[in-house]
Chains A and B, each alone.
Chain A
């Protein structure tokens, strides 16, 4: 129990960072790219609520205690970013991939919404 509270305190102490995000559209749907350097697969969570996709990840830099820093331009942090989803996204087929610190989320379009011709029947 005490360990849990310690962990939550630790995560609270990490500064929250909004990761740099690209959102783009291709023929097969939408793509979201996020820079999450230092985040391991097990520290990454992707949640989908009603129409919001939330990405949270923790990056802990592997510096030992004995090191003294001369220059610090980035540090450990908790990445949090929410992206709102359009109704045209097929929630069942969303795919996510984490490679070299970049998260790629593919949001395919709903196929139902593809234009469809309605045949007219003659009575």
Chain B
């Protein structure tokens, strides 16, 4: 029958819906926006990581402005007759607001296995320094 070919129908769908509703979702952020971003820092650098599968480095446009880091690009659509399409396609853009001073000339970006890593070194002159007071 027609239902056999419908990819949306599967047995237990309603039960799954109820389960999903009551189960706390640890990966809730996964579906928020494309591409997902991780922001972290250590003593020397800030790190911006992002999952952008399917794009080469030259297809990703990174812009560093005074206050923000912009990640832009386009995911191409494959040609053919689709049975199932879950991968997001089309233009994307994410803006990371930088409220902190960074060393703009030493920013590095790498893209390996679909994971983009941008390293933003903390500005040398902005790192808080301890000033020792000598007692005369």
Which residues of A are in contact with B by a Cβ distance under 8 Å?
15, 17, 20-26, 31, 33, 35-40, 61-64, 66-75, 100-102
Q: Contact check, A100 vs B87: say whether CB atoms are below 8 A apart.
A: no
Give the docked Cα–Cα distance between A74 and B30 (Å): 6
15-64 of chain B: CB within 8 A of chain A: 26-27, 29-30, 32-33, 36-43, 47, 49, 51-56
Q: What residue in chain A is nearest B33 (Cβ atoms)?
A: A73
- Quick check: B114 and A36 within 8 Å, CB to CB? yes
A31 engages B38 (CB within 8 Å): no
B residues less than 8 Å from A72 (CB atoms) = 29, 38
**How many pairs of A and B residues are in contact by the CB < 8 Å rule?**
115
Contact with B55, one of A61, A63, A69, A100 (Cβ below 8 angstroms): A100
Complex: how many Å from CA A63 to CA B82? 36
Decide if B81 is an interface residue (CB 8 Å cutoff): yes
Instruction: Give CA–CA (A66, B47) in the complex, Å.
Output: 12
Please state if B32 and A67 are interface contacts (CB–CB under 8 Å).
Answer: no
Are B37 and A100 in contact (CB-based, < 8 A)? no
Residue in B40, B80, B85 whose CB lies within 8 Å of A26: B80
Q: How far is the CA of A9 from the CA of B76 in the complex (A)?
A: 38
Interface membership of B78, Cβ < 8 A: yes
What are 12 A-B pairs at a CB distance below 8 A? Answer: A23-B84, A24-B84, A26-B79, A26-B81, A33-B87, A35-B54, A36-B114, A64-B42, A66-B43, A100-B55, A100-B56, A102-B114
